[in-house]
A and B are shown apart, each in its own frame.
Chain A
Amino acid sequence: MPPALPGARPDFIQDIAMTNGNSEHVTYRVKHFDPDRDQAPRWQEYRIASSAGMTVLEGLWQLKETQAPGLAWRASCRMGVCGSCGMWINGKARLACNTQIAELESSFVTVAPLPNFDIVRDLVPDLTPMFDAHTVVLPFLIRSDRAEQESPTVEYHQSREELERYLQFSYCIKCGCCMAACPTFATDALYSGPMPLTQAQRYNSDSRDDGFGQRKTVLAGTAGPWRCHYAGECSRVCPKGVDPAKAIQLMKRELVLDFLRLRRHSRPTDLVEKPEGIKRRPDIPEAPARTV
């Protein structure tokens, strides 16, 4: 057996690639935009070798290493957790790390920055408007017991059922795919968008929260869920199954009931009773000092 060339992949990996019929070449069509040189974005095509299981993000890395050293994009965890690599891939907003080239079922991989956001450079969108809208809907627990929130003594009570009322919406990684897919956000810059509204609903439906009235000042207005007409695109593209369209409709129900004075106001849950007469076991160390 001849000695393996440096850098060559072991035979068995190539075998897997061959048996999957996937050790082919694909053409990447990539949108480029350099603010210092380009007046408008331009498309460029590259051919790269793809193998079984290869993701769109891995293809981009390969491109950068071999053909397009200046190509810019955002990515970090490469496993669908950080939400950095949202891109417009073959006509749909997806995470580049979460999308295998094979699942596109095409010999072309078209990669563009997420639409509805300004292009900073190449595949990097400026997500600032989304995070601004996110801030405006107060995405945190709002309660009257400020002191307890700042320096907690015990936990807030929450049952499993109460948790499930918002858990799905808390899986959001703020990648911006839903904003890129939304037909309203495509034309209306004043619309909050699916992500901020879903997060507002996440806190509105949290049994520990008492901020419905405060968030309503934004949500009842023109930036609120009224701009949603259930095109459903956000839920279709969400890489985490957060289902923003569902959150927005549930939010509309609450706001309509509120307008009709039919919304049941429930007090935010109380603190769990502090257990008494319990001593720390000697083998469990003290909690470290707070750093914030």
Chain B
Amino acid sequence: MRDQSLWTWHVIAGVVILVFLGLHMGVMHLDALLGLFNPEGGHPIDWGNVLARMKSGFFTVTYVVLLGAALFHGLYGLRNIVYELGPGAGLRSAVNAVLWIAGLALFAIGSWAAWAASRLATTL
């Protein structure tokens, strides 16, 4: 039963990533063409632009959504690849556990950073 639900979420996460990572890539790497969300001009990773996005509730929320979706999508993809290499039952559950722990840890780091950055931006 598990793969039916996991794979469906994998696809849903893929669509979410497509929207928000598409936006992220547009902001970061097609800035000269699109010029989105870079109020200070210059490079998108200049502190002024970063600070503007940190202040924005939209970016804080979508960063966390994107973080979760991308971690799930990527780690399930990795799990697929590992499973398809034909590991034994013990290795399978070990891989599962490691991926869950790694995923949750990275999600915790990333969402803490988004939250802390948003708090920092409002005080500045």
Contact = CB atoms under 8 A, between A and B. Distances in A.
A–B contact, 8 Å CB criterion (strictly below): yes
B86 A189 contact: yes
Interface stretch (A79-87, A136-144, A221-229, A240-248): A221-229
A188 B83 contact: yes
A28 to B, nearest CB: 33
B1 interface: yes
Given A221-B1, A221-B2, A226 B85 contact: no
The secondary-structure label for the interface of chain B is helix
Contacts of B4: 216, 219-221, 224, 226, 255-256, 258-259
Interface in B6-29: 6-8, 11
Given A184-B84, A189-B86, A260 B3 contact: no
Contact of A220 (B3, B80, B83): B3
Interface residues of A, number: 21
Nearest to B76: A226
B5 interface: yes
A222 B83 contact: yes
Interface of A: 184, 187-191, 216, 219-222, 224, 226-227, 229, 252, 255-256, 258-260
Given A188-B85, A224-B3, A256-B4, 9 more contacts: A190-B86, A220-B4, A222-B2, A222-B3, A222-B83, A226-B7, A229-B80, A259-B4, A260-B8
The 9 closest A-B pairs by CB, nearest first: A220-B4, A226-B3, A188-B84, A226-B7, A220-B1, A259-B8, A188-B86, A256-B8, A259-B4
